[in-house]
Structure formats: structure tokens, C-alpha cells
Structure 1
Amino acid sequence: MMNRSEEKPPTRIAALADQCVQCGLCLPVCPTYALDRNEAESPRGRIAIAAALARGQVAPTAELREHLDHCLGCMGCEQVCPAHVRYGELLVETRALLGPAPRRPEREIGLVRDPARWRRLRRVLGRVGFTRWKSLLATCLPAQSAWRSALALWPANPLPAPYVAQPASAETPDTDTVALFPGCIASVEDADAQRAALALLRAAGYRVVELPAFCCGAMDLHGGDTAKAEQAATQVGAAWQSAKAAHLVTITPGCIGTLRHALPGVRVADPIALLAARAERLSFRPLATRVAVHLPCTQSNVARSDDALLRLLRRVPELDVAALPKPPHCCGAAGTHMLEFPERAARLRDDTLRQVAALAPQRLLSSNIGCRLHLAAGMQHDHHWPHQHPLVLLAQQLEP
């Protein structure tokens, strides 16, 4: 019998699709089905499309492909599937079979995945007051332009102080050794969260090895660019081997699934999960503030650290913690989706922000940098909640 590694992609896709029993339980938790009420915009419909493409029963037209590209990869469907269909795997395999979409914003993605280039650009444009005139520049671009979408996402806050990783020590690794992976744009825009994770993990008794900053390949893996995704996976593997750690963690939940894909068998987790396991070692100062907690889809459905995060936040005395509702409510960021389909992403974001407003918070927390930039872009006119990574709040309130 042919093993999984020897299966050709169309055979593998067809086998994954055959696991679906067409029950429809995935429809109520699918954000894109909620948006369109179209069977082709549901997991069940996309599985049928993938199977037909794999078997050569239909041609990969632009219309069919768009239904697959609209998928946010939130994995809410996997959580409710009684047949345990590996939908995420099927989606990755099908996109790899088709290759990158013609409309994929390669230049914008190339900029985001390179932390050094991103920091240089932020520094240069910060000196000329770019945030004051970016809106005027955006009006000169077509409504569906990826560059226009990227301008809307441009951070309004000053460039964070750089996060400088310390070299790994030569200590003998043990079960308490954790490797911290900074990622790409998160290593720049969430540098304060990197420092917060380091402080919290050490306070909880973990030894932390800090890895260099680079892209894990998530955008390429989910965008069908197999060659670039494999290059990134090789780089991840080399960094992990040099770390000699027991756990690999990242502050960006959107990277976790890709890191697990690159390192099968390795314990890849959200640092929140490790901190929650040793919560009794952490003590926090009171903070009389109401926070709305946006739980990124990958945190709930891939990392599955959402409950751990809420438990940790509720250990802060006087902190009023209100979590946003779960699926089918996705903010629409979804990696590069907010660049490729800005109108759809904005509709999903507006719904999320309405739910935030209903909670009447003083601050908004979200663990995923893409989600937070996307939500912040929608807050420029109607809402102005301060927003931050929840690890930053926890580190700020940490008792010495």
C-alpha cells in the first residue's frame, strides 16, 4: 500500500475529501458562509470543489479558485466535524496543487516577510511623517489595490524599540527549556510582546533560548507557494536544531500551525499555554480596567490556548475581562486575505468591531499582529480603543 509520503497530491486531496460525510455541521461556524450564504463559500462546498479538481472532473477556472482563495483558514470547521476531516491539510494541498493565485500581492508579502526591510522602511517613512499623508496617497490608488490595503494597515504608533535576541547559552537542555520564535513582522511590530514573553516565561521558571527573526512560511504555505514554504521550513528546522530546547513557542498564533507543519513531532505551543500551566508561580498587580479580548481564530482553533489566556488575564486583580464571541466571528485578517480581498475583510472586521463596541471596553487585546493591525485600521474613524498584545499587559502587571 502506498504510504502518505508517496501519495501524489491529487490522490491525497481526493482521500481527504472522501472523509467528509456532507452533514453540514461546519456551515454555522464558517465566517465566509455567514457572509455569503453560498454553499460554495462553505467548508462542505470547498471540499467538493477540491475533490472535483483533484479528480480532473472540473477545470481550475478563476471562479472556482476564488471560492478556495476566499477561505480564511480559521479551522472552525475542524472543531465541529464529527468525521474529523483534516480540512486545513486539504486546503493547503489543494492550493499547492493550483499554485499561487494570479492576484497574490507578491511585493507586499515580500516586504512583510523580511523584518530588516520592514524596519528600515518604518524608520525612513517615520522621519517624513508618513502617517499624516498616507490617507491622501491611498485615495490615488484603485479601491481593490493591495497597496491601498497595505496603506490602511500601516501602524499609527511609533516604531517600537528593536528586540535583540540574546545568543543561546551552552547549558544542558531540559524539559524547562523553551525556544522563542520571533517571526517576521511580529518581531518588529510586537517587539514589546517578545520582551514580555521572555520576562513572563522566566518568571514562571522556564529557561528561554531566543531564535533569530525570520518568516516561518505561513503566508507561502497557505498561498500555494510550495517552494518558498519549503525554504522557510528548512530554515525553521535549522534554527530549532541549534536551540536544543524542549518546547518551541511564538507570540503569534498565526505561525503555530506552520511551525507544527515544518516540525512534526516537536512540541510547538503558544507561550500562554506554558504560562497557564505554571500560573501559581505568577503574581500580578491590580489593574482596574475593562478589556475586550479578541481571540484570533488560530489561537482558538489551532493553538487552542484561548481558555488559558482568559484564565491568566483573570488572575490580574480588578481586571474586568470580556471575551468576544467565538465563531463564526472572524475579523477577516487571515494572513494575506486582508490584502487580496479588502472589501470582504472589511465587512468581517466591521462586524467584529461592532461586537467590541458592545462590550464597552477601555482597551482591546489581541494576540495576533495581523489581526491587531487590521482591527486598528478599522478603528481610525469611529473607535479609538488602545490596543496591545495580552502578554504585554500581563508583563506590565507582573509582580517582581
Structure 2
Amino acid sequence: MALEKPPYTREQKIAALADQCVQCGLCLPTCPTYGLDGNEAESPRGRIAIAAALARGDAEPTESLRIHLDHCLGCLNCERVCPANVKYGELLVETRAMIGPMKHRPRGLLTLLKQPTLLRLAARLGGATGLAHWKRSLAARLPAQSAWRAALETLPDASDAPKPAPSAATSPEATTVALFPGCVASVEDADAEVSAVTLLRAAGYRVIRLPAFCCGAIDLHGGEMPAAEALAERTRETWQASGAAYLVTVTPGCLGTLRRALPGVAVDDPISLLAARIDRLHFRPLARRMALHLPCTQVNVARNEAALQKLLRAIPELDLHAVPRAPYCCGAAGTHMLEFPERAARLREATLGQIATVAPQQLLSSNIGCRLHLAAGMDAEGRRWPHMHPLTLLAQQLEDSP
């Protein structure tokens, strides 16, 4: 009887993933950080070589070496074009888990971001003290590379809490969809959450809302594997108790982590479900020029940008323009905009320039991190575009919506 092979160690898994790369270089033109620096070590091919060397013990994770891995945005543009189907996202996660989190990781700030209750409290305190009026002057007093400075600059102005989505009668046979609120999105993109419920119910789905907590993406992509695994287990327990057929989230930034925690489960954002029942949705006209920013996670993880545009174009008279993706990533990339604010700002400027070519009246983007990051970089030279989640716009224009 043949003996079973022993399970891979993490190092063996990384080496095996790295061996799939044929070093063709087709990923280089799609990589935002390679575009910034023109440095092979800042490319997917270079990072794969670094990961392989670390996994095989041919190199040590010194600060000067690991910084190239830390700089990676995890946008997965490279995966989309790779002819060898290298699982670069998995390789990056495993390598960061192997070498551990960055030495100067802003743990206090990230802990706050992962706690919706603390975020709501901070938002109320900010509103009570008029933080929106003096946050920029406070941020200017902090060092340019400070994560707290970047957080202050991206802090949105206070807004009223959204009204709960109206209940709608559904048949007992209706497909049940569980909505995962997440952490930052559950507070800063609550309007989109309410809109998703409204739209899904209008499309004939039964919707239940799960408790709000972090999916684990912040820890998973930061090399904090024990914390990420604990949140993945909480996700699995919450899902199993839901009894739903689908799990959805309004921010595509959570999709990859949720799918990792729930293999075999139908995890998506609401866009795909709504597009499948577009015949049930009818929208009021809106004569407005809109720029549609497509986040990397929308294109490379959700992969439903065509369905999103189909839904938006169902709004009569809407003048919709997808923002050209030449810069590929706006620089937000989860916590990247906090950990490397100068690099993130350079990528953001390129994206804002692309948005300006559309000359929009309003900006749409499905990723709350991208929207806050872009808003922080807008200036007074015609780049003060109101911004919202596409689901919010769709719900506002939905016929018979309140």
C-alpha cells in the first residue's frame, strides 16, 4: 500500500507556488508598484523570487528585503494576466504569514478599524467635537508617514445614520441571502448596506443581516495569521447559523477573505444576484454624468464589473463612463494607504487624473476604502466630486422606493 505524502509545511507550499512562475514578465506592465519604481523587486516576478528564497532558507527576511513584499498592494492584476495561472494572492498571504507582520505595523489604529462599536463611538465623538472642520489642521501636525495622519485625512465628514431598509413581503420559497456587514464598511458604508437590502428584496430575495465584525482581511494580509484564523472561525460559525443560500457583502474587499474562510459556499457581492434578476428592477431616469471607478477587488476578485455596468445602464438617461484603468490601483489597498501613505498618494494622483478626464458630476465606487482614499486626495481645482456606492445610486433611483 502506497504511503500518504506528509502535509506541506508553509515553506514547502510557498516554494511549490513559486515554482509555477515561468518568469515570462507578462505581469510587469500590470503591476502598480513596478510602475511606480521600475524596480524588478517591486514586481510580481521579483516578489515571487524573494518568497521562494525565503521559503528555501536562501535569504533572511531583513527589513531591506521584506519591504518589497510589504509594498505589494495585493491587487491581483498579475493573476488576471498570468499564463501559468500562478496563485499569487495565496503565495503572498502564505509568505507574509511565514515572515510575520511588519515591525512598525500600526496595531492600535488597526484594532480600532476592526471594531465597529469603537468606530461608531469615534464617529459620534468626531461629530460632537466638529472634527470635520479641524481634522486637516490636526493631520498637518503629524509626520508625513504617520498612519494616524493618513487616517485623519481619509476620515469622512459626519453624516446622519441611514434609515433601515423597509421590509418587503417575500414568499416562503424565496432564496435567503445573508448580508455580511464587515467592520469599516458597516459604519462608513451603512447607506450601501441599507440599499443592498432594499434592492435584494425588490428582486425577490429574503435578506437577513449578520452581526457586524471584521472578516479578517486586515490580519490575513498583514501576516497576523492567528488573529485571521480566529475571525475566519467566527465567520464560519455565523454562516452556519444563518441557514442562507448566499453570503453577500457590499464591499468587494471582503470577498477574497470570506471565500477563503468558506470554501464551497456561494459568496458574492449583491451585484451578481441583482443582475441575474434585472428584469424585476425598474429605475427612474437620472440625467447625470457619472464616473464609475472599478476597484481592483471588483475586477479581479468579484469579477462582475460587466454586471455592475449593466445594472447602472438600466437607469434611463444616466451618462455612465467607466474610469480608464491605466494606473490599475488607486493605492488604497486595504491598510496600504495607512502604512505607506506617500506611495498610496502617488497612485491616487494618477487615478484622480483619470477620473478628471471623464469630467463627471459624481463618482461611483464599490470599495469604501477606495472612496475615502480618493476623496482625501481631491482638491479645489474641479476635483470635488460627490461620491457614493453604486448600490446607493441604484436604490435611490429604484421605482417605488421610499
Tell me, yes or no, whether TM beats 0.5: yes
* 1:347 lines up with 2:334 in the alignment: no
| Alignment-derived partner of residue 271 in structure 1 | 270
Q: Which amino acid aligns with 2:75?
A: C
1:389 lines up with 2:389 in the alignment: yes
Q: Which letter does structure 2 place at the counterpart of 1:124?
A: L
Query: Does the 8 Å CA contact 1:152/1:377 hold for their aligned counterparts?
Result: yes
Aligned-pair distance for 1:2?
Answer: 6.0
Following superposition, the deviation at residue 381 of structure 1 comes to 3.9
Q: Determine whether 1:77 maps to 2:78.
A: yes
- The match for 2:94 is 93
Alpha-carbon distance, 1:333 to partner = 0.3
C-alpha change, 1:368 and 1:165, in structure 2 (3 Å) is farther
CA distance in 2 between counterparts of 1:255 and 1:176 reads 22
Question: Residues of 1 paired with 2:396 and 2:164: CA distance?
Answer: 17
Deviations 1:317-363 (A, max 9, x none): 00011001235420000010000000000000010000001100000
Q: Which residue of 2 aligns with 1:115?
A: 116
What is the Cα deviation at residue 18 of structure 1? 0.2
Structure 1 pair 380/326, CA: closer, same or farther in 2 (3 Å)? Answer: closer
3-state secondary structure, aligned to 2:248: strand
1:43-93 CA distance string (max 9 Å, x none): 011000000000000111101111001110001111111100000000000
Q: Check the 8 A contact 1:73/1:88 in 2, yes or no.
A: yes
Structure 1 residue 177: Cα displacement: 1.4
- How far has the Cα of 1:386 moved from its partner? 0.4
TM-score (norm 2): 0.95
User: What pairs with 1:181-330 in structure 2 (closer than 5 Å)?
Assistant: 181-326=180-325, 328-330=327-329
Deviations 1:251-284 (A, max 9, x none): 0000000000110111100110110111111110
Residue 13 of structure 1 and its aligned partner are, at CA, apart by 0.0
Shift of 1:207: 1.1
- What are the Cα deviations for residues 135-170 of structure 1, in whole angstroms up to 9, with x where unaligned? 22112211111111111111124253476999xx9x
| Structure 1 pair 324–313 and aligned structure 2 pair: CA distance change class (3 A) | same
RMSD of equivalent CA atoms: 1.8
* Range that drifts further, 357-366 or 149-158: 149-158
C-alpha deviation, 1:175, in angstroms? 7.5
**Cα contact 2:11–2:56 (8 A) shared by 1:** yes
Amino acid at match of 2:73: L
Aligned partners of 1:163 and 1:204: how far apart in 2? 18
Unaligned runs of 5+ in 1: none
8 Å CA contact retained: 2:166, 2:198: no
1:288 and 1:217 mapped to 2: Cα distance?
40
Deviation at residue 377 of structure 1 after TM alignment? 0.3
Query: Helix, strand or coil: the match of 1:142?
Result: coil
Tell me the CA shift for residue 134 of structure 1.
1.3
**Quick one: which amino acid aligns to residue 359 of structure 1?**
V
Contact 1:186 / 1:252 at 8 angstroms: preserved in 2? yes
Give, in whole Å, the separation in 1 of the partners of 2:164 and 2:215.
Answer: 18
Deviations 1:186-232 (A, max 9, x none): 11111111110001011111111210111000010000000110111
**1:41–1:176 Cα change, 3 Å:** same
Which residue of structure 1 aligns with residue 45 of structure 2? 44
* Further displaced range: 152-161 or 70-79: 152-161
Letter in 1 for 2:32: P
Q: After superposition, what is the alpha-carbon deviation per residue over 1:90-137, rounded to whole angstroms, capped at 9, x for unaligned?
A: 000000001111121111111111011010111012111111111221
Identity of aligned residues (%): 64
Report the Cα distance in structure 2 between the residues aligned to 1:27 and 1:246, rounded to whole angstroms: 39
Aligned counterparts of 2:244 and 2:174: Cα–Cα separation in 1: 8
In the aligned structure 2, how far is the partner of 1:278 from the partner of 1:147?
Answer: 43
Say if 1:10 and 1:131 are closer, same or farther in 2 by CA, change over 3 A. same
CA distance in 2: counterparts of 1:212 and 1:2, whole angstroms? 41
Which range moved further: 134-143 or 62-71?
A: 134-143
Residue 29 of structure 1 and its aligned partner are, at CA, apart by: 0.8
8 Å contact kept, 1:299–1:305? yes
Q: C-alpha separation between the residues in 1 aligned to 2:386 and 2:91? A: 38
Which is further off, 249-258 or 126-135? 126-135
SS of equivalent to 2:317: coil
Partner of 1:27: 28
